[in-house]
């Protein structure tokens, strides 16, 4: 077992620990490539299919390019007053998303979590304490995953299946632990600096940036603490659909 650790997106970890959380999303197959550091230490594309076969995880693209699907995901670390508006917009646009919960969010925001379930969204596991799994031993990593899994199952009668690595950090041992817990690991193919509540992106610029970066099979990572995201979400969904994407 090689002791390598890969961080999908530098900078997300600090944001998640602020107290904002980090990252999100899914599909049923994994075709495409994710850019990152491979096991041999060389920076090159990683075959998502081989990753999926070995560890049951999805790479940077979740669907085939032909399907033109874009998956919206939101990280739920703490509530900043925008999730209800985001849910309103998703309902208005007849769109669904994946919401990755931390333990603190699952325990404090029961009404919003129940609404996510009732309105047909997917809940994902982002760790009970948002700990970096490669820094834990296997027993600690299993506890980090399953304590939240069991809480959500007992509290909401919801059986989560997808895990998002806190800070985007993972190792071979971490991926094996996630898989042994019955989870698929989910990464993302696009994200932007939306988590800093003291320096929110300009809405027009953010909308332009997200539409310019749209691609088939995209897993889009957003944060619900962002006032910009809440403001532009409806226009973003409309713009993506106008480009021919399914959202």
Domain positions in the chain: 14-242
How many helices (H) and strands (E) the chain has is answered by: 9, 12
Residue 169, pLDDT score:
83
The percent of residues above 90 in pLDDT, for the chain, comes to 62
pTM across the whole model: 0.81
Contacts of 138-145 with CB under 8 Å at 24 or more apart are 138/173, 138/177, 141/173, 141/174, 141/177, 141/178, 142/177, 142/180, 142/181, 145/177, 145/178, 145/181, 145/183
Tokens standing for 46?
């990683």
- Which of 165, 160, 132, 134 shows the shortest CA–CA distance to 147? 160
CATH 3.30.1390.10 is the classification of domain 14-242? no
Catalytic residues: 75, 223
Rounded Cα–Cα distance for residues 246 and 232 (Å): 18
Residue 5, pLDDT score:
42
Residue 238, pLDDT score:
98
Per-residue pLDDT, averaged over 183-208, amounts to 92
Residue 204, pLDDT score:
98
């Amino acid at each position: 077992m090689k002791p390598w650790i890969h961080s999908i997106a530098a900078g997300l970890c600090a944001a998640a620990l602020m107290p904002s959380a980090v990252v999100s999303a899914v599909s049923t197959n994994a075709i495409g490539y994710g850019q990152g550091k491979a096991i041999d230490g060389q920076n090159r594309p990683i075959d998502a299919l081989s990753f999926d076969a070995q560890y049951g995880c999805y790479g940077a693209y979740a669907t085939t390019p032909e399907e033109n699907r874009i998956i919206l995901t939101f990280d739920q670390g703490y509530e900043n007053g925008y999730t209800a508006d985001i849910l309103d917009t998703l309902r208005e646009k007849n769109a669904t998303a994946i919401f990755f919960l931390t333990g603190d969010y699952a325990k404090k925001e029961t009404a919003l979590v129940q609404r996510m379930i009732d309105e047909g969204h997917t809940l994902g596991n982002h760790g009970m304490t948002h700990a970096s799994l490669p820094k834990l031993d296997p027993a600690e990593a299993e506890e980090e995953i399953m304590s939240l899994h069991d809480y959500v199952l007992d509290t909401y009668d919801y059986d989560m299946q997808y895990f998002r690595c806190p800070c985007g950090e993972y190792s071979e041992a971490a991926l094996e632990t996630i898989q042994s817990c019955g989870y698929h690991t989910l990464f993302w193919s696009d994200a932007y600096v939306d988590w800093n509540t003291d320096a929110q992106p300009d809405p027009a610029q953010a909308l332009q940036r997200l539409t310019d970066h749209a691609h088939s099979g995209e897993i889009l990572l957003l944060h619900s603490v962002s006032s910009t995201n809440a403001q532009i979400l409806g226009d973003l969904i409309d713009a993506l659909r106008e480009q021919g994407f399914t959202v």
